[in-house]
Structure 1
Amino acid sequence: MTSNSILAYCRPGYEVDTGNELTRLTAARGCYGYPLMKAGEAFVTYQFQAPAAAQEFIGQTAVDDTVFARQLFAVIGKITIEDTADRIGPVLALLDEQPPPRCGTLMVEYPDTEDGKTLAKLCRKFAVPLRQALRGKGWLTAKEQLNLPALHVFFVAGDCCYVGISQPRQRSPFANGICRLKFPPKAPSRSTLKLEEALLTMLSEQERNEICRPGARAVDLGACPGGWTYQLVIREMHVEAVDNGKMDADLMATGLVDYRAEDGFKYRPQLGHVELLVCDMIEQPDRVAELMAAWLVKQWATHAIFNLKLPMKRRCETVYAAIQAVEAKLASANIKATIKTRHLYHNRDEVTVAVLRKS
């Protein structure tokens, strides 16, 4: 592959933040380059300076290692399609010139924009004959094999697409990098999807089973009306729900919720300790980060999942500063933990942080 760039999907309006983050990550790995983007396009390309740096970076960096990227792949090439009656031919011609590794799956995708969504039908129709053509060339396995590289065809317009490769365990398994969830009809607010996505994508199955086990205790700061509490209750956890608002009546009827009309910044767990602290309060991100770190350092909670509300500007810098503050406080208390920070699909102008203490 002669291209030396990667492509990252992101939420529209977060192109600069994604580009800034890629610049941080590549510099930390000693490989340098520059991002290319346009506002509102919902993707960023990053051009490396050193030969083969894109392949090296994509092999070392998982989507889950980033905050703002939804998907990452190494670009083979960008195609402008002159005759839209034949979109497959130009893709095959590119791959003939730059043969890919044998891939186990094909992902035909588009940006998460209003213009991009108009390409959804095209991508679905295009994927079937392209898949057959790739198998005929021996570039795609007869049956899907997720342990092999994936071939990406990312349409940015009906006559323009990027083609590239992602690695297993490094890419997002979801189409367009989006974890789509169905709203539970009994949940009291759509914010429940934020915590559900975090539990499903930021924790392993083993971590979910150990932390969100029946009978375990949790605290939900800023709980009302109970969207996040709902996710804990359906897992049969006992929840101390802290807020000055009104909790959902059905949640209270479960007998698993202890409602406390108190200030989330002054509240302390009733029994001195809980397994999980969750928080979705509308507060300054540095203030929330300091509060979460205090709960962990003082052993009031073993683990924490919380949202940081983002400012209009310097969002990437704000997130990294808040996380570094948490890391510093944990380190000073000799607490070993893994910290994951993601701009989830069901988030808006916020990121979700999961701090999981190591056993």
Structure 2
Amino acid sequence: MEDARANGLLCYCRPGFEPELAAELGERAANAGDAGWARAERNTGFVQFFTGQGHALAQALPLRDLIFARQKLRLLAELRGLDAKDRITPIIAALFERAAFGDLVVEHPDSDEARPLAGLARSFGNALRPALRKAGLLTPTVDADQPRLHVCFLTGDHALLATGHPRDASPWPAGIPRLRTPPDAPSRSALKLDEALLVLLTPDERARWLQPGMRAADLGAAPGGWTWVLARNGLHVTAIDNGPLREHVLDTGLVEHLRADGFRWSPAKPLDWMVCDMVESPKRVASRMAEWFREGWCRHAIFNLKLPMKKRWDETRDCLALFEAQSQRPLRIRAKQLYHDREEITVFAMVAPH
């Protein structure tokens, strides 16, 4: 069995986007003055990034700034050759003399190959938790202010130990918020906007910026999934699409449907929100979104950029730079590839306060 102390990061991502995450980590690390290197294999759902700066790199690459990472953890150890009869002893040995963690998460990457490990993760977590407490490595009750211990099974005898700080790690196992499609949602795409509001905005921001009576536009609205989410939050929505909306979306009394082109229509007066999930080239969408901010047509926006099959990190970086430059005003921008996204990223932007 091997206990290799690791000095780096463990990040989870959408399977198939490991090269994009590795490229993003490498570029951001280089910009922070650290020439780290990535270990990534396509369709595994995770990337390891090693560095000579350790904790300093973790601080220089906060999760909120990473686009392709669902979760970001600090690597502690890699354990190979674990005996199925006793996986607990080597884990405790690898954590020797560490301060007590506030919680334990036993998980696996979100990949087809690792998904059968779900049962092991559940049962092993139940066995490991009391053993860690007995060894003084886990607080008697959950302490949300302390770093969490993550045990990530790659196979039944191969695990990564990592830690996540509550202020710089996703609160959800594997970084995935488990949302269910409401029975009256017009389409599954409603989950994309629900997740964007949950992940890209803080609870305080949602309370302040999504208030009943605010006004919004949904560009490319049909069949009405994103419009429905906004109306459910009490916003008055102008839904722009030449296609039809589901009847019950219009029945809310908060929605006006205009049969128009989302790339041409503009509001008569500024709106609180604009959202857009149109299927179009990412640079064209980014340019159109910039026009909305340049002209002062909205204060906040959430939109998706559909990525090409190749050079997706380059396209992401270029589109965000184009959007920021063409808006011609200071913006706050957050971007993430969400769990409910596919070949796309979701962007939140707002006019930066003076």
What TM-score results when the alignment is normalised by the length of structure 2? 0.96
Alignment of 1:1-359 (within 5 A): 2-48=5-51, 50=52, 53-96=53-96, 99-269=97-267, 271-330=268-327, 333=328, 335-359=329-353
- One-letter amino acid of the counterpart of residue 88, structure 2: I
Report the residue type matching 2:18 in the other structure.
E
Output one character per residue of 1:48-89: Cα deviation in whole Å (capped at 9) or x when no partner. Answer: 1x2xx1211223433221001111111111111342111111
Between the aligned partners of 1:320 and 1:347, the Cα distance in structure 2 is 18
Deviations 1:292-348 (A, max 9, x none): 111011001111100000100111111111111122234xx3x33211000000101
Instruction: Answer yes or no: is the 8 Å Cα contact 1:103–1:148 preserved in 2.
Output: yes
Contact preservation (8 Å) 2:29, 2:61: no
Unaligned runs of 5+ in 1: none
Q: For residues 227 and 88 of structure 2, what CA distance do their matches in structure 1 show?
A: 49
Identity %: 40
Displacement over 4 Å in runs of 4+: none
For residues 15 and 141 of structure 1, the distance between their equivalents in structure 2, rounded to whole angstroms, comes to 34
Letter in 2 for 1:134: L
Deviates more, 1:146-155 or 1:57-66: 57-66
Cα distance between partner residues in 2 of 1:256 and 1:351: 28
Distance (whole Å) between structure 2 residues aligned to residue 212 and residue 186 of structure 1: 21
Tell me if the contact between 1:58 and 1:167 (Cα under 8 Å) persists in the aligned partners. Answer: no
SS in 1 for 2:177: coil
Q: What SS does structure 1 have at the residue aligned with 2:105?
A: strand
Q: Structure 2 stretches of 5 or more lacking a match?
A: none
Q: CA deviation at 1:116?
A: 1.3
CA RMSD of aligned residues (A): 1.3
Deviation at 1:11, TM superposition (A): 0.8
Distance 1:168 1:210 in 2: 23
Q: Is the 8 A contact 2:82 2:158 kept in 1?
A: no
The range that moved more, 130-139 or 284-293, is 130-139
SS at match of 1:75: strand
Q: Is the Cα contact below 8 Å between 2:239 and 2:256 reproduced in 1?
A: yes
Report the secondary structure of 2:54's partner residue. helix
Whichever residue aligns with residue 149 of structure 2, its letter is L
Q: Is the 8 A contact 1:62 1:169 kept in 2?
A: no
Native 8 Å contact 1:241 1:259 kept in 2: yes
> 1:313 aligns to what SS in structure 2?
coil
Q: Once the 2 structures are TM-superposed, how far is the Cα of residue 2 of structure 1 from its aligned partner?
A: 4.7
Paired residue total = 350
